[in-house]
Structure 1
Amino acid sequence: MTALKLTRIGNSVGVILPKEVLARLKLDAGDSVFLTEAPDGYRLTPYDAEFEAQMKVAREVMKRRRAALRELAK
């Protein structure tokens, strides 16, 4: 477990992530992270579940309509 300190940033409060945590999450300055509620508290992750669900639907459509998409790409 890594303890994080809350820091005032302008009119807001932010958390500074140590570089080891950034490396493990494969994050860099400017990247987005998502805070989700979990049964045991909260989870901070670079993974966006809503985006992944949208991509799953998009992959299914692309697989089903492969021929039409190929024609449109010409």
Structure 2
Amino acid sequence: MVLALKLTKIGNSVGSVFPKEVMARLHVEQGDTLYLTEAPGGFRVTPYEPEFEEQMEAARRVMKKRRNVLRELAK
């Protein structure tokens, strides 16, 4: 799916209007935050914070490595 987004002046800034279909596919609504990240060949817009995802991946590695310790602490 390729969509052209027009940039418009909003006060002293510039913004873009996302069609309803795009917002539905991203599972976002007005007021939500989107993140623009560099990707191979361009940029990617996502509702997920990349830094948080890195932190969660580190947590998953610790939980996998220290599974027995976490089970004991949960008792």
**Which TM bucket (shorter chain)?**
0.7 to 0.9
**Structure 1: stretches of 5+ with no match in the other structure:** none
Aligned residue identity for 1:29: Q
Moved over 3 A (4+): 59-63
Aligned residue identity for 1:39: P
**Structure 2: stretches of 5+ with no match in the other structure:** none
1:42 aligns with 2:43: yes
Aligned residue identity for 2:10: I
1:6 aligns with 2:7: yes
C-alpha separation between the residues in 2 aligned to 1:38 and 1:56?
Answer: 19
Helix, strand or coil: the match of 2:21? helix
How many residue pairs get matched?
Answer: 70
Task: Report how far residue 28 of structure 1 moved.
Answer: 0.8
Aligned residue runs from structure 1 range 1-74, under 5 A? 1-61=2-62, 64=66, 65-66=69-70, 67-68=72-73, 70=74
Deviating more after overlay: 16-25 vs 54-63: 54-63
Q: Percent identity?
A: 59
Give the TM-score of the pair, scaled to structure 2.
Answer: 0.75
Give the TM-score of the pair, scaled to structure 1.
Answer: 0.75
Helix, strand or coil: the match of 2:22? helix
Task: Report how far residue 58 of structure 1 moved.
Answer: 2.8
